[in-house]
Amino acid sequence: MITKEELARHRLPEDCWVAIEGKVYDLTGFLDRHPGGRNLLLPFAGKDATRAFTGKHPSSFLTMIPAKDLKGELEGWIPPAGTPAAEPGTKPPLESLLNVREFQAVAEASMGRSEWLYYSSAAQDERTFAENEAAFGRWWFRPRVLVDVSRVDTSTTVLGYQTSFPLFLSASALAGLADPEAEVALARAAQAAGVLQMVPTISTKTHEEIAAARAPGQTQFFQLYVSRDHRVTESLVRRVEELGYRAIFLTVDTPLVGRRERDKGVIRSLGTISDPSLTWDFVDWLKTITTLPLVLKGIQRGEDAVLAEAHGAAGVVVSNHGGRQLDGARPTLDALIEVRRYLRHDSPLEVYLDGGVRRGGDIVKALALGARAVGLARPVLYGLASYGQAGAEAVFNLLHEETALCMALCGAPAVGAISRDLVARSFSDS
């Protein structure tokens, strides 16, 4: 047992102890390996940093600290109280929500202010964030009629793995800001809805806990941020492969973190989350240390999609990080069109899209313009924050129902029947 007085004596850069969740760590040798840099840690030297740590880091982050640097337990430590729950009766009944946008208002009322701003904010003036959604409204359907749609099959595959409709849960950091069960609840919701789950590097639950929540036959992918110490990344990749994750989705659009002006708390605490020195050579190296298929997440131009294929990627996610990185970047639907134009017609590269999807019709438009499936994150987190696992499931189910209805009304009884001529850019296009 270590007293608070003893902890306070170790508050210098050359002798830095910090308490986290009731345990005391000597972080002296870890200061320069912290992904956000030593300056984010030093204000907590000799103190209890639990409140700053919880919600902003996954519990698995502590595994980066060598076991020899665990000094003991903090005497008299009591877990801090969590964010107060919303008052009973303040939320509308879950079944009364008619579309996924309606979850946003409930989530805002249910979450703490800093947590809400982390989830809802985007970069600078948030123009790209707004245009991600608006881009879908610039395309119109050209429905076929007198097609038998008495049965509509929405199922498809992503990297060969079955999904109930062309959607996967895209990775989003720190689901614990929405619900204590965090990524474990999302795993169960994804399984119930028959969709695939991409698990983030910066999770609230450990990657082992999330894998343990997997149902028999359930597929989980892993989103990878790359540490500046590539040995840490190599260890992480090997561990998630052993845990049964089925693909690596390497995020490539975060050499630095975008400036999200409305979020003044959580994102700043994360510091640098990826290695800004990454090049295509890293992609080549990554393929040598894993047998898992590799997907590059954050592609925004055709030339880079071609390079991804040349460097052995199995797929790309056309994404601008939900508008959270470079404000002024094109909406992902427009970037998708360019990517498809650059790739060979017979290219085996699977192309996905995320950003701005809020309706089943958006999913059908994305497929018509060349995506194999779409990723969804923010609306699912809003569902989780509002009603827990049941809310996340409801978001999936609403979009599934809308997708099936849109396909039927467009005269597309199966995913394979969704083609480019099903949409037009203006009223007069054909």
225 counts as catalytic = yes
Q: Quick one: CA dihedral 360, 362, 367, 368, positive or negative?
A: positive
Angle at the Cα of 86 from the Cα atoms of 116 and 210, rounded to 5 degrees:
60
Three-class SS of 279-327: CHHHHHHHHHCCCCCEEEEEECCHHHHHHHHHCCCCEEEECCHHHCCCC
User: Catalytic residue at 284?
Assistant: no
Catalytic residue among 118, 119, 225, 245: 225
Rounded CA separation 369/402 (Å): 18
Rounded Cα distance between 417 and 422, Å, is 9
Select which of 25, 207, 245, 253 is catalytic: 253
Identify the residue whose tokens are 């036959």: 217
Active-site position among 321, 354, 362, 400: 321
What is the widest separation between alpha-carbon atoms in the chain? 79
Active site residue 327: no
Q: Rounded to an integer, what distance in angstroms lies between the CA atom of residue 123 and that of residue 311?
A: 30
Residues annotated as catalytic (active site), given as ranges? 225, 253, 321
